[in-house]
Amino acid sequence: MRQAQQMAEECSEDYMEVTYDLAIAKVALQLQSTEKPKYNNLFIHLGSFHIMMAYFKAVGKFIDNCGLTNIMENAEILSGDVPSSFGNISKKLMQVFTANSADTVIIAFDRYIFPSIKDNEHSLRRRVKGQRFQINGPDQIRPSNFADALKNIYFKETLVDFIIDDWANDYMAPFIGSKTILVNYLQCHQYKVCQGKVQRTSESSLACPGHEEADTKIVFRLSLDF
């Protein structure tokens, strides 16, 4: 820190930036605080590498345990008064996703590809292929044990397909409002409301079709903004 002050003096600068890793930055900031105003002309901060590490750690924490089952648990769809029809479940999810001040909401779903390097993880989480399932419309009654049904990969795929189509109906317009909804699954669907009607378009540049994991798709989408 004294060397940094000396460099600032030699360069006729009032202040000097000092970059440390996290462990040393903690000590330097504590020293700066306890020995005021001796080091007040130093701006101590983390390097870009450590800032990037912290950023991805935050993203990782955000996307961990945020799958469809967890979202439904947070929305109390898997407990208490569970909507009886698939249409009402779809509306409830849209309400949950849009209950915020964000202008754009990005939703990414896993794709289940077999065989996959994720097969072992699916097994540990008790996800199975199970029996094929069909949803014929919004009025269809859900399985009585909805939580168990979500362990069936075929059921989850069918449910996601239904939600993607159901959200294109105009009765979703009040929930969407002025927001832009992006749903990334087999392709990327964009939902907007124009004159009270829901418009769904395909955004191929945001699809990230080569990846099966939702978290990879989220990081891919975020990378387009940097």
Helix, strand or coil, per DSSP, at residue 71: helix
For residue 166, the model assigns a pLDDT of 97
Contact call for residues 179 and 194 (beta carbons, < 8 A): no
Residue 187 to residue 118: CA distance in whole angstroms? 20
Mean pLDDT of the chain: 79
Residues in the chain, how many? Answer: 226
Q: 225 vs 194, which has greater pLDDT? A: 194
Q: Cis peptide leading into 115, omega within 30 of 0?
A: yes
Q: At what angle do helices 153-166 and 86-98 cross, to 10 degrees?
A: 70
Most confident of 13-22, 68-77, 120-129, 170-179: 170-179
Q: What are phi and psi of 158, to 5 degrees?
A: -65, -40
For residues 106-128, give the mean pLDDT: 60
Contact call for residues 16 and 23 (beta carbons, < 8 A): no
User: If you ran DSSP here, which 8-state letter would residue 130 be given?
Assistant: -
For residues 174-189, give the mean pLDDT: 91
pLDDT band at 118 (very low <50, low <70, confident <90, very high): low
| pLDDT, tens digit (0-9, with 9 covering 90-100), for 78-113 | 665 678 899 999 998 899 889 889 999 988 877 655
Residue 122 has pLDDT above 60, yes or no: no
| pLDDT, tens digit (0-9, with 9 covering 90-100), for 14-29 | 888 888 877 788 888 8
| pLDDT, tens digit (0-9, with 9 covering 90-100), for 29-78 | 889 999 989 999 998 887 766 666 665 555 554 444 445 666 666 556 66
Residue 216 has pLDDT above 70, yes or no: no
pTM, 2 dp: 0.59
Helix, strand or coil, per DSSP, at residue 18: strand
Q: Which residues are CB-contacts of 202 (< 8 A; sequence separation ≥ 6)?
A: 187, 188, 189, 190
Residue 226's Cα: distance from chain center in Å? 16
Distances from the Cα of 140 to the Cαs of 95, 122, 135, 157, in angstroms? Answer: 20, 28, 7, 16
Domain ranges of the chain: 2-46, 59-223
Helix, strand or coil, per DSSP, at residue 181: strand
